[in-house]
Amino acid sequence: MYRKNYPNLFSPITIGNVTLKNRISASPTSNPALNMNTYMTKDVASFYEMRAIGGAAVVTIGESIVHTRTGCNSNYRLLLDDPNVIPSLSDFSRTIKQHDCIPSIELAHAGKFANVPNSLRPAGSGQIPYGPVHEITPDGYEIFEMNEDLIAEVAEAYGKAAGVVKFCGFEMLLVHAGHGWLLGQFMSPLYNRRSDRFGGSLENRMRFPLMVLDSIRARVGPGFPVEFRFSGEEFVAGGITIDEGVEIARMVEDKVDLLHVSAGLHEQPGANVITHTSTFVPQGRNVYLAETVKKAVKKPVACIGGLIDPAMMEEIIASGRADVVAMARSLIADPFLPRKAQEGRAEEIVKCIRCYVCMDTLRGTRNMRCALNPLIGREFEHKFLPSPGPAKKVLVAGGGPAGMEAALTAAKRGHEVILCEASDQLGGQTVSEQHIPFKKDLYDFGQQRARQLEEAGVEVRLNTPATRGLAERLKPGVIIAALGAESIIPDIPGIDGENVLFLKDLRTGHSGFGDSVVILGGGLVGCELAIHLNRQGKKVTVIEMTDDWARDAPKLHKDAMDVELRKGVTIRLNTRGLAITDRGLVCEGGDKQPELVEADTVFCAVGMRSRSSEHLRDLAPIFKIVGDGRVPRQMFEATSGGYWAAVDL
C-alpha cells in the first residue's frame, strides 16, 4: 500500500465552500511587471502558474487595489475598480484552475501610504493621501483624515472589488488588514488616534474593517471563502500586541473563513524584517502567533514566516499549531516544493536562503528574480525553450555555483559534460558558509547541486585546474569558464602577517580568529562575518573607507543586518586602513590622524577580483564566461548566468 509522505500536510481541508487539496498556500506575492495599463500579462500569469503546477493548493495574487483614487501606492498595481482589468483576471483564474489549484487575490488599500512619493511611485500621484488621522509625515507630506462618507465609500469599494474577482472566476479572496495597510492602520493604536466612533477602543478601531467584511460578504454571498490577513503582533511600541491580535481574530471570526496570522509593519524597518523573516532568525519564527490565535478561535488558521522545511510544516499541521501553511519566498526559490515533498523527493527541494534578492529586484527594477532559481522572471519564455542542439562535449572550468548550474543544465539537455574544479570540493564561495549558522542554507544549496551533478551523469574532476593543456587534450566543443573570483589583497604593510585572514581561510572554519577582530572592508561579506563573530562573543570592529556599509546588500537584508550589528559591532565609516601590525590595524579617519585599532586578528574583505580565463578562450568553437569570472557579483548572477549559458548551446 502506498505510504503517504507528510500525511497531515497533504490532507485536504475545507475553507468556506471550497476544499483545498492540501494545506499549502502560495501567499500573496506582487509582481509589478504588468503592461502599461497595469493589466495582467502572460508573463505575470506564468509567474503564478508555476506555483500552481508545483502543487500549491491556493495561489494568491498580491496587493490588488480596491479604490484607485485613494488607495494606490504604486504605478504597478492591479486596479480592481477598472473594468478593463476583467479580461486578464478571467484568463488568469482559468489558467490557475486548470492545474487543480484555487485562484485567490488580495484586496488591498494602502491608506496613508497611497498617493505620496515612494520608490514605486517617485512622483506621487497628484491625488490627496488619506489615512485614519490628519498628520504630517516625517518627509513633510500632509495626510488627510478619512471622513465617514469616504470610509463608507471605501468599504463599498471592497465589496465591489470582491464581486469583480468572483465574476472573473476566482474561488477565494484575501482581505489585507496587516502590515500597516489601510485596514491595519485603523486597527492599530499606533496609527489610529481618532476620537470618534472609528477610534479609541478596539471595538471602535475594528468598526471599519468589520464594515468592509460585511460589504464583501454581501457581494460574494455565503460560503465564498474569505481569508483575513492581519498582523498578530506589530512589534513596534504602541502597536498591536498578540493579546489584541487574539481579540481581533475573535471579532472577525464569524465573518471570514480563514484567519491568516502574519506579523510586523512594512514601513518600520525593524518590524518589516519580522514580517519577511531574515536569515538571522529561525525558520518558522512567526508560527507561534498563529498558534496563539488558533487556541482562541474555531475557524481555520494559516501561519506564515520563513517556512522552508516540509518536515516542519508537517509538524505544524500534525500538532494543531495551524491548519494551513502559507509561503511566498519558499515557493519562489522552488515552486515545485509541494510536489517534491509529496512525491518523496524532499532532498531535491531548493530551499530559500532568505536573502531578499526577490524583494530587492521587485522594488528596484520592478521585476522578479531569485538568487537560486534562474527561471523566476522568465517563466513564460521558459515554456518555449529551444530544443537542445546536437550533443556537444562541454568543458566547464570551475565548480562554484555558476559552473555547477551550467554543468547540470547542459547535462540535462543531453550534452556530454566534464567539470574541472581546482580545489578538493565543489561549491566555490558557498563552502565558506558552512561554519556560519545563518548562512548554512547557502552551503547546503551548493552541496545539493554537487549531488545532482553526479545523478545527472556529469564527470566531475576535483583537484584538477582547467589548464590550457587539459583543454587541448579534451578537445571540447564548448568551454564554459566559471573560474570565479579571488580576494583583492591591498598593498599595505603587514598584509602578509600571521594575524591576517582572507575569505579562503573561512573554508576550513573560524578557529584562527582571536577574541578581538578588525574587519577591513564593510561590504556584505565583511558585515555578515561581523555579525557571526559578534554572536560568538568576539569584539568586532568594521573599517569601511566609504560613507556607508554593505552597499552591495539588498535593502531588506541590510535592514536585518542593521538590527544584528547594533547588538555590539562597531562600524567606522570614512576610515582607511594604512598598515597592519601584530597589535591590530593602523587606520585614518576624516581627521587624517593615524590611529591603531587593537585586535588579535585582521580579516581582509576589501573586495573580489575575477580570475582570468583568457588561457581557455581560443580552445573551443564556443567559449562563454559566467559568474564571478565575468564580474564579481552575487548568487543570482551566478545561477542565472550558468543556466542560460547552457540553454543557449
Which is it for strands 130-131 and 142-145: parallel, antiparallel or unpaired?
parallel
Burial (Cβ within 10 Å: 0-12, 13-18, ≥19) of residue 124: middle
Give the global pTM.
Answer: 0.93
Distance CA 46, CA 201 (A): 45
Confidence of residue 32 (pLDDT cuts 50, 70, 90): low
Residue 400: pLDDT band by 50, 70, 90 thresholds? very high
Name the least confident of 33-37, 130-134, 144-148, 281-285.
33-37
Residue 590 reports pLDDT greater than 90: no
| Spatial separation of the C-alpha atoms in residues 118 and 43, rounded to whole Å | 25
The whole-chain average pLDDT of the chain stands at 94
Cα–Cα distance for residue pair 539/143, rounded to 1 Å: 45
Which of 591 and 19 is assigned the larger pLDDT?
Answer: 19
- Identify the bridge partners of residue 418 per DSSP, sorted by sequence position: 395, 459
Per-residue pLDDT reduced to its tens digit, 473-512: 999 999 999 999 999 999 999 999 999 999 988 888 767 8
Lowest mean pLDDT among 137-141, 291-295, 299-303, 525-529: 137-141
User: How many other CB atoms sit within 10 Å of the CB of residue 640?
Assistant: 24
Can you say whether residue 287 is alpha, beta or left, with left for phi > 0 and alpha for psi between -120 and 50 degrees?
Answer: alpha
**Distances in whole angstroms, Cα of residue 294 to Cα of each of 200, 290, 304:** 26, 6, 13
For the segment 318-353, what is each residue's pLDDT rounded down to a tens digit?
999 999 999 999 999 999 999 999 999 999 999 999
Query: Letter for the amino acid at 53?
Result: I
What is the pLDDT at residue 341?
A: 97
**Greatest CA separation found in the chain?**
83
* Between 631 and 208, the higher pLDDT residue: 208
All three cell numbers of 61, joined, read 495574487
What was the pLDDT predicted at 46? 94
Quote the CA–CA distance of 313 and 300 in Å, as a whole number.
Answer: 16
The top-scoring range by mean pLDDT among 27-41, 362-376, 379-393, 516-530 is 516-530
Asked if 60 and 29 touch (Cβ cutoff 8 Å), the reply is yes
Q: What grid cell was written down for 379?
A: 517563466
Q: How do 601-604 and 516-520 pair as beta strands?
A: parallel
Which band of pLDDT confidence, cut at 50, 70 and 90, is reported for residue 2?
low
- The end-to-end CA distance of the chain, in Å, is 44
pLDDT tens by residue, 382-395: 888 888 889 999 99
Q: How far apart are CA 584 and CA 586, in angstroms?
A: 7
* pLDDT of res. 381: 87
Q: What percent of the chain has pLDDT over 70?
A: 99
Residue 200 in this model has a pLDDT that exceeds 80: yes
pLDDT of 186 reads: 98
* Model pLDDT, residue 633: 78
Q: What is the tens place of the pLDDT at every residue in 204-255?
A: 999 999 999 999 999 999 999 999 999 999 999 999 999 999 999 999 999 9
> What's the confidence (pLDDT) of residue 238?
95
Give the model's pLDDT for residue 214. 98
CATH of 386-487+610-647, one of 3.30.70.100, 3.40.50.12710, 3.40.630.30, 3.40.50.720: 3.40.50.720
Cell of 32: 509589478
Report the pLDDT value the prediction gives residue 125, as an integer from 0 to 100.
Answer: 81
User: Where are the chain's structural domains?
Assistant: 13-355, 386-487+610-647, 500-606
For residue range 114-151, list pLDDT tens digits in order: 999 887 787 788 899 999 999 999 889 999 999 999 99
- Three cell numbers at 454? 553526479
Instruction: Give 76's pLDDT tier (boundaries 50, 70, 90).
Output: confident
Residue for grid cell 581560443: 618
Quick one: average pLDDT of 522-545? 96
Q: Give the DSSP letter string of 56-87.
A: -SEEEEEEEES-HHHH---SS--BTT-GGGHH
Cβ atoms of 519 and 540 within 8 Å: the answer is yes
Same CATH topology for 386-487+610-647 and 500-606: the answer is: no
pLDDT surpasses 90 at 67: yes
Among 42-51, 460-469, 587-596, which is the least confidently predicted range? Answer: 587-596
DSSP state of 10: T
Kindly report the CATH number that applies to the domain delimited by 500-606: 3.50.50.60
Domain covering 13-355, topology: TIM Barrel (3.20.20)
DSSP string, 225-247: -EEEEEES---STTS--HHHHHH
* Per-residue burial over 269-290, b = 16 or more CB atoms within 10 Å of its CB, e = otherwise: eebbbbbbbbbbbebbbbbbbb
- Answer whether residue 571 shows pLDDT above 80: yes
